[in-house]
Chain A
């Protein structure tokens, strides 16, 4: 047992592996993991794992999406500002206001959802949770 690097144990039922995980958690081990072919309900508290951080990235992404949408629509259609390589142009559509949150909403809403997904997917690629 002198050069033991680790231990692996195999279980036959989800209940067995969950009770075993609780024991390992209570014994204070840090570098361990549970491997299952499907997620077992209740395994996260049994291992003492905290909630995933994926949600936080998502919210940030969504906010960026909404802001980007509204800003883009305002800049392109309601301003005559000049940025490098691009210039706004006040597009006249039936004499209506150049910008209004109502007509800008569908595109901004879709960009919100798109950025939600892209931002968390970026985080999600790094699956590992810190112990």
Chain B
């Protein structure tokens, strides 16, 4: 079974996305922020990481930066709702520049999200 790490601090978004991916054949491990995600990554390997951008403690930008220090091939999809003083487009640009393989703006329809994950894992 394909294993995915879902990093999302919003409780409702996290549970809905988890359900969506599990319904579509993914084994989903959930992390609330970058620190928790890094902890999971030391124990398990994941085919893809889907991460939010704005999160407390360690945000998605820092998470991607940390991962890329040691792993250049890990598939990473960033999804951002935008943040105070920063439009979503800008957040998406930044995280792609840092090293995410793809970045999309929330909210996303299921087909958009699943297609992005499929493309990433097929590549």
* A and B interact physically: no
